[in-house]
Chains A and B, each alone.
Chain A
């Protein structure tokens, strides 16, 4: 039970896992704020967001388990996959950083997820479409909450602006991965499962530009750096995140929780 499971290399499955893992890993990071946020009200707000994301990941992992042909459940997929079988883009796993980092990552990813859910609502997979319909409402609120915070911090004090600029400079390096296609995308579009990630780039950039514009923050230039989490090659942070997250399932083989 505690040994790792293996994931079949079907593109449709990987397409689902890239999305489920984005939600789960971002949810895991946001959950770290509970008890440590800048003000009590925000502890509650960030926890709500984390709960939504974990809920989305559960629905997607359950679906992925069914589609895997291996009968995996959500917890086997979450807790018994090795790092290389985790398929979230690297951006989601970066440490939570300061509040500016968390807010701006939420701006980037909630906007991306919102656009993704909008398109998945028309998926040929009826179950995926249903998950998207519910998740879309949640992502719209996440985007609004994050965007409003970005405006407050970008156009707040000198310190908050400086922190936003520093956070954005780092985060931006990891955004190209959100829009790069490969064979997984090709298979997903061919099957009508969902959009190629590259299709999200233009609408995403339009919405992000508007939000950052209102926050009086400049969009950083593009670097040659490329992250590769969605192909299973993560940052060094991912190992620690998974060790922590998977520890109980790995230490108590055959346990019931």
Chain B
């Protein structure tokens, strides 16, 4: 999920490049026409520099979110309570790695290597979704992430399957198809605990839901009136539905699902609005959102350190594999 990234970075000038030549103006016009006609743009097609930059930023940050997102849940692989849950969780976290991989590949078509993108992540230049800077403190967090975080992510990601940039859209189609089990397994895990489990387990579930609820609402990004890049993103089909609309859709769905689970959300202002036919919710603490995005969430430093460590520990492995490949090539040539 992870597209909040485009709201959290400064606007890079909208769609007003200084056109130098008549030829470029013509290319720009053709590009705009194709976008308006709902055509797909392929990596080698002409595109305005700003489109390329925005996409690269969004796709790479989406990819970073997937691989940083492996960490909070991966934290529980060795402790999963049954062998079935261990298999499910391992497969799910592995999927997230795969999704990161598909997305890096989509971004690479724009001319930036995966290593360059990882370097931006490791040096703190690139962002990832704020949600992964929260800790997973109990096993119920794994279920809550599946149900709420993946639920929010799917809501955000499905529209991107129709994004104008074809490599991104193709990756998203694959990801959405694979991810359909992620939310279900999370809900299922919580449902078993609350319906068949003990009081201690029910308390664990409710406590986890309490902690994840507000951060999940923040995943959709700032309110529409504070989301400067949205209009441009909409035109390019990188973003199809506004932050607030998606957030409302998520709340409406989650309230119904919470009833089935028999859990509550930690919001005294949550109530049905007969007039709007939606659930009203209380004020989101945006200062917390900006603090977490800015690097001071509960786990920002640990998450980044874990990624950097894996990368640095793996350096000799990557070098050795390349060295061996070169030796083999020489042998073959000889």
Contact = CB atoms under 8 A, between A and B. Distances in A.
Contacts of A32: 77-78
Contact of A40 (B97, B200, B320): B97
B189 A257 contact: yes
B151 interface: no
A191 interface: no
Interface stretch (B51-59, B81-89, B227-235): B81-89
Category for how many chain A residues contact B = 35 or more
A30 B319 CA distance: 22
Contacts of B90: 31, 34, 47, 50-51, 54
Contacts of A34: 70, 74, 77, 90, 93-94, 97
Contacts of A256: 192-193, 195-198, 201
A15 B315 CA distance: 41
Contact of A152 (B100, B306, B320): B320
Nearest to A61: B83
A219 interface: no
B139 interface: yes
Interface in B66-106: 67, 70-71, 74, 77-87, 90-91, 93-94, 97-98, 100-101, 104
Category for how many chain B residues contact A = 35 or more
Interface in B232-291: none
Interface stretch (B23-31, B294-302, B321-329): B321-329
A245 B80 CA distance: 7
A55 B324 CA distance: 33
A247 interface: yes
21 contacts: A28-B78, A31-B90, A32-B77, A34-B94, A35-B70, A38-B313, A43-B97, A51-B90, A54-B87, A151-B324, A152-B324, A152-B325, A156-B323, A157-B320, A157-B323, A159-B320, A160-B317, A248-B80, A255-B198, A257-B85, A257-B192
Interface of B: 67, 70-71, 74, 77-87, 90-91, 93-94, 97-98, 100-101, 104, 139, 189, 192-193, 195-198, 200-201, 204, 306, 309-310, 313-321, 323-325, 327
The 4 A-B pairs with the shortest beta carbon distances in the complex, nearest first, are A38-B314, A156-B320, A160-B320, A256-B196
Given A156-B323, A252-B198, 13 more contacts: A28-B78, A34-B74, A35-B67, A35-B310, A36-B313, A40-B101, A47-B90, A159-B316, A252-B201, A255-B193, A256-B196, A257-B85, A257-B197
